[in-house]
């Protein structure tokens, strides 16, 4: 572990913070190979873009209002409270184990390498399915709509989605900085697209709301829906709106080894990403719902938010705003590929995967895990093509990308509740203090409820099969190969202990910050 120099001899703050973080990576037993270039805004942008209220609303608004009518938007605050709680827990944990491959590293360091493998498996299922689902069901149709293709063929949608996915992989191979720049632009595109569209619709609706032909504010409590079932069942299904959308913010932590001053920047990025998304998403939902011109017409539409917008606004303006929304979705694909690549890289350097030696390689020019990124890209393309041939691609792919991350949350929170007291406190880092256990208990109840919502209803059984299929593959790999590797000591990690070199190194950053501030 590097020694701390006197204040007058230290490097500039950003360089010194990066050096301190590099020493933590070394203390955990790894060589710092990835470039530290990401600051708070880039990490916030990652969390904000992965949550992507544009993607969640444009993909799920129609499903929600068909499940429980316009009143389905009130499932959003419930999901927001639950996910902000999860963000607080993850923010604290990210300061204690600030490594790439967040899900795997946290599970493995808290419980053991085998446990970490299964946590990582659910995280990989989430990311590998997400990119194909969003490309096929979101970006492709919306981009073509913005270019004037009102009813494009499924083949054309698949071709466009595939091309965009290839470019997203290429951006990630070039450098994390380029991926970050694309993602940073997407923050403004998302605000300019979804939020400007929502506010503009609210203004136009307010002006014309006196017209008897237009809906009043009472539409916010209208439960007219097309789905059969009890009110509770339909309300639970509508919860997909927020449950699907407000996830993925933890991918900021997956970039910890590429963050400057990660113990401060990563937690702030995680919390800000989900909190801002929750507030802006609620504003957008209220605006879109008030602007519904005809409930049945919108429920029948393949692109309900576009249908609402085209009723009130000129087609040219709507197409431009939809183009911005599709770009923000594209950035989500870019950053999800980045996260998946880092997770595979992290597993590879611990010999947890087939061909681990190759997957753990970092290109000396680009400083990116090229083989890991390309491997993830190929699997994502395969999932997208498979989804194309499914009779109900929406609930199968979207449901799977909703269920898998909540299983990750479940396993991480359970492990953290058990081990939190034995982990070293990080002064100067993000700490929940005495609120930690109550928040984790509340978070655990929330996660279990979300998992039940995403697995019990019949429409999501196809998604359950996708996640179960991935779990079977992970279990077979563990039983026939990985278990022996871990037992032989040639794969996996050591448990995190308060007296370990890693724990001492994490604490040393606080001391370094104190010296630099003098």
pLDDT of residue 169: 93
Q: Are 238 and 75 in contact (CB under 8 A)?
A: yes
Q: Tell me if 420 sits within 8 A of 110, measured CB to CB.
A: no
Work out the pLDDT band at 512, boundaries 50, 70, 90: very low
Tell me the pTM.
0.86
Give residues with Cβ within 8 angstroms of 487, minimum separation 6: none
**What does the radius of gyration of the chain's CA atoms come to, in whole angstroms?**
23
DSSP 486-512: HHTTSSS-PPP-TTSHHHHHHHHHHHH
Res 15 pLDDT > 70: no
Nearest CA to 123 out of 335, 339, 443 is that of 339
More confident residue, 497 or 122: 122
Residue 94: both structure tokens together: 């990210």
Query: What are the chain's domains?
Result: 7-517 (1.20.1740.10)
Q: How confident is the model at residue 508 (pLDDT cuts 50, 70, 90)?
A: low
Per-residue model confidence (pLDDT) at position 358: 96
Given a cut of 50, is residue 333 above it in pLDDT? yes
Q: Span 346-356, mean pLDDT?
A: 95
Closest CA to 344 of 328, 329, 330, 355: 355
pLDDT, tens only, 34-93: 778 888 888 898 888 888 898 889 989 999 999 999 999 999 999 999 999 999 999 999
Of 21, 18, 103, 52, nearest in space to 508 by CA: 21
């Amino acid at each position: 572990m590097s020694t701390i120099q006197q204040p007058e001899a230290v490097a500039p703050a950003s360089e010194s913070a990066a050096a301190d973080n590099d020493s933590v990576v070394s203390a955990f037993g790894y060589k710092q190979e990835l470039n530290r270039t990401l600051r708070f805004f880039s990490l916030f942008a990652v969390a904000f873009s992965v949550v992507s209220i544009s993607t969640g609303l444009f993909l799920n608004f129609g499903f929600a209002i068909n499940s429980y009518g316009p009143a389905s938007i009130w499932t959003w605050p419930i999901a927001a409270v639950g996910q902000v709680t999860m963000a607080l827990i993850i923010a604290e944990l990210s300061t204690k184990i600030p490594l790439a491959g967040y899900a795997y590293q946290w599970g493995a360091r808290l419980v053991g390498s085998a446990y970490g493998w299964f946590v990582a498996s659910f995280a990989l299922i989430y990311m590998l399915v997400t990119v194909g689902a969003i490309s096929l069901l979101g970006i492709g149709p919306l981009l073509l709509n913005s270019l004037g293709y009102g009813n494009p063929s499924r083949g054309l949608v698949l071709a466009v989605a595939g091309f965009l996915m290839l470019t997203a992989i290429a951006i990630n191979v070039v450098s994390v900085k380029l991926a970050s720049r694309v993602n940073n632009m997407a923050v403004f595109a998302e605000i300019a697209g979804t939020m400007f569209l929502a506010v503009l619709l609210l203004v136009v609706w307010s002006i014309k709301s006196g017209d008897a032909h237009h809906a009043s504010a009472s539409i916010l409590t209208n439960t007219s829906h097309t789905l059969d079932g009890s009110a509770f069942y339909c309300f639970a299904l509508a919860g997909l709106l927020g449950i699907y959308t407000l996830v993925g913010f933890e991918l900021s932590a997956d970039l910890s080894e590429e963050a400057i001053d990660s113990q401060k920047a990563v937690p702030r990025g995680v919390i800000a990403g989900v909190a801002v998304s929750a507030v802006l998403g609620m504003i957008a939902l209220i605006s879109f719902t008030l602007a519904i011109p005809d409930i049945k017409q919108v429920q029948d539409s393949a692109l309900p938010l576009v249908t609402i917008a085209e009723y009130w606004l000129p087609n040219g303006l709507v197409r431009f705003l939809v183009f911005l929304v599709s770009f923000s979705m594209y950035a989500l694909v870019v950053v999800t590929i980045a996260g998946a690549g880092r997770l595979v890289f992290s597993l590879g350097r611990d010999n947890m995967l087939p061909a681990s030696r190759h997957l753990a390689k970092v290109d000396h020019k680009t400083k990116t895990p090229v083989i890991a990124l390309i491997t993830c890209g190929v699997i994502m393309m395969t999932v997208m093509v498979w989804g194309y041939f499914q009779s109900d691609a929406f609930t199968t792919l979207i449901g799977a990308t909703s269920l898998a991350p909540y299983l990750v949350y479940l396993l991480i929170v359970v492990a953290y509740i058990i081990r939190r007291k034995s982990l070293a406190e990080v002064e100067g880092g993000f700490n929940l203090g005495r609120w930690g256990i109550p928040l984790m208990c509340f978070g655990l109840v929330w996660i279990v409820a979300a998992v039940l919502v995403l697995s019990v209803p019949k429409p999501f059984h196809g998604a359950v099969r996708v996640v179960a299929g991935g779990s079977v593959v992970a279990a077979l790999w563990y039983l026939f190969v990985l278990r022996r590797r871990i037992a032989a000591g040639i794969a996996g990690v050591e448990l995190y202990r308060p007296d370990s070199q890693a724990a001492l190194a994490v604490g040393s950053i606080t001391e370094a910050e104190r010296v630099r501030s003098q």
